[in-house]
Chain A
Amino acid sequence: MHLVTIGKPNVGKTLLLINLAAYLGLSEVRLEMPDGEGGQQVKRLSLDRARRDLMSWSAPRTRAIQTAIIETLVGRQRIRLVAIDTPGIHEGIASHPDQRHLVALTLEWLIRAPMIVHVVDVSAVGSQRPEAPGPLDLALAQYGQRLPGYIVVANKMDKLGSLEGLRAIRDAYHEVPILPVSCITRRGFRDLKQWMLHMVT
Chain B
Amino acid sequence: MATRDVTPGSPEEILHWVEQGRLAPDEAVLWLAQVTKATEAKRDRTDSTEETADAVLAELDRMVGLSEIKRVVHDIRAFVEVQALRRGAGLQVNQQTWHMVFSGAPGTGKTTVARLIGRLFKALNVLPKGHMVEVERADLVGEYIGHTAQKTRDVIKRALGGVLFIDEAYSLARGGEKDFGKEAIDTLVAAMENYREELLVILAGYPDEMAWFLNTNPGLMSRFPIRLEFKDYSAVDMVHIARRMVRERDYILSQDAEQGLLTLLSDNEGYWHKNAGNARMVRNLLEHAIRRQAVRLVGRNIPLSRHDLMTLTWSDFEGGLD
**What is the chain B residue whose CB lies nearest that of A95?**
B21
What residues of chain B lie closer than 8 Å to A90, measured between beta carbons?
25
Q: Tell me whether A107 and B15 are in contact in the complex, defined as CB-CB below 8 angstroms, given that A75-B136, A92-B24 are known contacts.
A: yes
Label chain A's interface by main secondary structure.
helix
> Knowing that A75-B139, A94-B21, A139-B25 are A-B contacts, what are 9 other residue pairs whose CB atoms are under 8 Å apart, sorted by A's residue number?
A75-B133, A75-B136, A91-B25, A97-B21, A107-B14, A107-B15, A143-B32, A197-B158, A201-B131
A138 vs B155: C-alpha distance when bound (angstroms): 34
Interface hit among A34-42, A98-106, A155-163: A98-106
Q: Which residues of A, 109-139, contact B by the 8 Å Cβ criterion?
A: 110-111, 134-136, 138-139
A125 vs B11: C-alpha distance when bound (angstroms): 30
Q: Tell me whether A93 and B158 are in contact in the complex, defined as CB-CB below 8 angstroms, given that A75-B134, A104-B18, A110-B29 are known contacts.
A: no
Query: A76, B134: Cβ atoms under 8 Å?
Result: yes
A3 vs B33: C-alpha distance when bound (angstroms): 18
Query: A103, B25: Cβ atoms under 8 Å?
Result: yes
Q: Tell me whether A77 and B133 are in contact in the complex, defined as CB-CB below 8 angstroms, given that A93-B21, A197-B158 are known contacts.
A: yes
Name the distance in Å between B2's Cβ and chain A's nearest Cβ: 13
What residues of chain B lie closer than 8 Å to A104, measured between beta carbons?
15-16, 18-19
What residues of chain B lie closer than 8 Å to A89, measured between beta carbons?
25
Per a CB cutoff under 8 Å, which of A93, A110, A138, A145 touches B24?
Answer: A93
Per a CB cutoff under 8 Å, which of A93, A110, A136, A146 touches B37?
Answer: A146
A138 vs B135: C-alpha distance when bound (angstroms): 40
Per a CB cutoff under 8 Å, which of A108, A139, A146 touches B15?
Answer: A108
Is B247 an interface residue when CB atoms closer than 8 A count as contact? no
Centre residue among A111, A139, A142, A194 by max chain B CB count within 10 A: A139
Question: CB-CB contacts of B111-155 with A at 8 A, as 1s and 0s?
Answer: 000000000000000000001011110110000000000000011
Is A140 an interface residue when CB atoms closer than 8 A count as contact? yes
Number of A positions contacting B (CB below 8 A) = 34
What residues of chain A lie closer than 8 Å to B14, measured between beta carbons?
107
What residues of chain B lie closer than 8 Å to A107, measured between beta carbons?
14-15, 18, 25, 28-29, 32
23 contacts between A and B (CB under 8 A): A75-B133, A75-B134, A75-B135, A76-B134, A76-B167, A93-B24, A95-B21, A97-B21, A100-B21, A104-B16, A107-B15, A107-B18, A108-B11, A110-B29, A111-B11, A134-B26, A136-B25, A136-B29, A138-B26, A139-B25, A142-B29, A143-B32, A201-B131
Is A198 an interface residue when CB atoms closer than 8 A count as contact? yes
Per a CB cutoff under 8 Å, which of A77, A136, A194, A201 touches B26?
Answer: A136
What residues of chain B lie closer than 8 Å to A77, measured between beta carbons?
133-134
A153 vs B16: C-alpha distance when bound (angstroms): 28
**What is the chain A residue whose CB lies nearest that of B35?**
A111
A134 vs B26: C-alpha distance when bound (angstroms): 9
Query: B32, A110: Cβ atoms under 8 Å?
Result: yes
What residues of chain A lie closer than 8 Å to B136, measured between beta carbons?
75-76
Question: CB-CB contacts of B194-216 with A at 8 A, as 1s and 0s?
Answer: 00000000000000000000000
A75 vs B15: C-alpha distance when bound (angstroms): 40
Name the distance in Å between B10's Cβ and chain A's nearest Cβ: 11
Q: Tell me whether A194 and B37 are in contact in the complex, defined as CB-CB below 8 angstroms, given that A76-B134, A107-B28 are known contacts.
A: no
What residues of chain B lie closer than 8 Å to A201, measured between beta carbons?
131, 133, 158
Query: A135, B26: Cβ atoms under 8 Å?
Result: yes
Query: A91, B21: Cβ atoms under 8 Å?
Result: no
Is B23 an interface residue when CB atoms closer than 8 A count as contact? yes
What residues of chain B lie closer than 8 Å to A134, measured between beta carbons?
26
Query: B23, A93: Cβ atoms under 8 Å?
Result: yes
**What is the chain A residue whose CB lies nearest that of B134?**
A76
A138 vs B27: C-alpha distance when bound (angstroms): 10
Query: A76, B135: Cβ atoms under 8 Å?
Result: yes
Q: Which residues of B, 16-49, contact A by the 8 Å Cβ criterion?
A: 16, 18-30, 32-33, 36-37, 40
Query: B25, A194: Cβ atoms under 8 Å?
Result: no
**What is the chain B residue whose CB lies nearest that of A8?**
B25
Query: B36, A111: Cβ atoms under 8 Å?
Result: yes
Name the distance in Å between B229's Cβ and chain A's nearest Cβ: 23
Sorted nearest first, the 10 A-B pairs with minimum C-beta distance are A75-B139, A139-B29, A136-B26, A143-B33, A135-B26, A139-B26, A104-B15, A104-B18, A75-B135, A104-B19
